[in-house]
Amino acid sequence: MEKILVIVPTYNERENIGKVLDILFDLNIPGLDVLVIDDNSPDHTADIVKAYQKKNPHVFLIERAGKLGLGTAYIQGFKFALERDYEYIFEMDADLSHDPREIPNFLEAVKDADLVIGSRYLRGVNVINWPLRRLALSVMANKYTKYITGLPLEDSTSGFKCFRRRVLEAVPLDQVKSNGYSFQIEMNFKAWKRGFRIKEIQIIFYDRTVGKSKMSKKIMFEAALMVWKLKILSLFGKY
Ligand SMILES: Nc1nc2c(ncn2[C@@H]2O[C@H](COP(=O)(O)OP(=O)(O)O)[C@@H](O)[C@H]2O)c(=O)[nH]1
Ligand SMILES: [Mg+2]
């Protein structure tokens, strides 16, 4: 049986994480473990996870000292997966924007792919309840990324995805520099440049109903610059 790890980064997700874990384990997928990476959330998200661990041995928790960003959280999660025998490694948000019930669809799609991305923009726009400004920003960021880098994806900033182990083994994880959402673009770009098969499947993205988004101007600017950096470095054969 091939093992599956779902990595869920959390920062102040106390009201969401229990529900996410419940839905995940109700799916009864054989070989599925969950790794929560919490950045010392002031709302004590980690306590909810620790209580959960008492009744479920398939939940792991890494606690970091402070808010160190999404990118480094995932890199740490990827290393955790590579040190163990996981074949399929998922990224998923903790705020129920990503429906865990989609996981079987990813597992089906990854049979003939190396990286499956849950896309909000594959056929039209499948985003529920985002303010127009936020939606426009996301759509524009994706068009911009596609145009500058040539990355053939409709949703390169999606945070709901499934990697085959070999992708994470091939990409030099210590050279991944992004910390905000451009982390998604950087990983996709590096997988694509190495010739891995990337497939998008349609998902619906629901805006969080509780808790706060961590989106910031800093994260936006990092992404806008990262796209150029990836493009320029790749012109010199560095990716
Ligand atoms: N560990 C960790 N998780 C984070 C950090 N920033 C965001 N997250 C988590 O990453 C996911 C996506 O963040 P969110 O704020 O919902 O982004 P949005 O959906 O784009 O507005 C959520 O599960 C957050 O709790 C961080 O610095 N560290
Ligand atoms: Mg969110």
Q: Which atom in ligand 1 lies closest to the alpha carbon of residue 10?
A: 25
- pLDDT of 156: 97
Protein residue closest via CA to atom 11 of ligand 1: 93
Tell me which amino acid residue 42 is: P
> Using CA atoms, how far apart are residues 150 and 35, in angstroms rounded to an integer?
33
Q: Which atom in ligand 1 lies closest to the alpha carbon of residue 97?
A: 19
Predicted model pTM = 0.97
- pLDDT of 152: 97
Q: Ligand 1 centroid vs 15 CA: distance in angstroms?
A: 14
- pLDDT of 181: 83
Q: What is the DSSP letter of 70?
A: H
Helix (H/G/I), strand (E/B), else coil: 202: strand
112: number of Cβ within 10 Å? 9
Burial of 238 (C-beta count, 10 Å sphere; 0-12/13-18/19+): exposed
- pLDDT of 230: 95
Indicate the domain borders of the chain.
3-235
Residues of the chain with pLDDT under 50: none
- pLDDT of 59: 98
> Using CA atoms, how far apart are residues 13 and 96, in angstroms rounded to an integer?
10
Decide yes or no: CATH 3.40.50.410 for domain 3-235: no
> Using CA atoms, how far apart are residues 228 and 51, in angstroms rounded to an integer?
44
> Using CA atoms, how far apart are residues 185 and 176, in angstroms rounded to an integer?
11
- pLDDT of 134: 94
